[in-house]
Amino acid sequence: MTRRYGERWQVSSDRPLVKGIDSEIFRAVDTRGEYEGEYALKHVLHPLRQERFHRELDSVLALRHPNVMALVDASAFTHAGGSPDNQFLVMPFAEGGDLGHGRRAEFYKESLDYTLQLARQMASALQAAHDSGVIHRDLKPNNVLFMGLGHEVWLSDFGICLIREPARLDDPEYAGQGEFLAPELEGGRQLDVPPAADVYSLGKVLYYLYSGGVTVVGNSIEPSKYSAVLQQDKRRKLLSALLRQMICPLENRLKAMPEVVDQLLAIQNSQ
């Protein structure tokens, strides 16, 4: 007998589709019939800071944007005293997988137009979240989910880092993923953060996208294997200049997402 969560979400198998240190993801259906089709159920293992996440949950649930993955059911977190063994979130199922899976990023290698197409979706989603007072804090390729086989994406896991162990950069489970975290957040030492933390992470995701899966190590794109590629023409030089304002120490970084959105639009329209 497969497990049922929240007395309504029946998982298709006790074996998760994805299992990590801090969570496991199952396919699930709603036995009450309110929601049709399959959904993704994320069971959060050993959740921390439940009270803190609860304070942000209303804002996360209220986010309405075509590129923000909505939470279908977060009732297990509606009060901080819930059993840690039964803490879960339910989201739409991303049929196209995530940007960090396999060789997905290779499709976008050195394709400026496709990179900009995804970049504008992600930046717009983050701007809407920031306008609602929600900072992602943990943007990385695994949190960029493809709705289907095309190039439409959702950003997932807004605020979920509040209920997880801080990423351990020396752990194989986080190899490469921790490099997307803004340096001021490393070790989980700062929870109240400005939008600039997401600016940094988005910059690294954009570089990962354009380079076909290469992760920038450190707070600068120089020296970089792909620096020369970003100098080929005017539009790529503009992208390189933008990335330098995103992947850098906090004091030199762009502070708000509208600045990023405006520059992405300028690159898109540049000849």
| Residues tagged active-site | 137
String of DSSP letters for 245-264 = HHSS-GGGS--SHHHHHHHH
Residue 182 CA to residue 169 CA, distance in Å, equals 13
Exposed e or buried b per residue across 166-190, where buried means at least 16 C-beta atoms within 10 angstroms of its C-beta:
bbeeeeeebebbbbbbbeebeebee
Cβ neighbours of 139 (radius 10 Å)? 29
Burial class (CB in 10 A: 0-12, 13-18, 19+), 231: exposed
Closest C-alpha to 91, from 65, 71, 67, 74: 71
* Residue that has been written with the tokens 């070790």 in this structure: 187
Counting every residue written for the chain, the total comes to 271
* Residue that has been written with the tokens 């450190």 in this structure: 218
CB distance 10 to 4 below 8 Å: yes
At residue 9, the 3 state secondary structure works out as strand
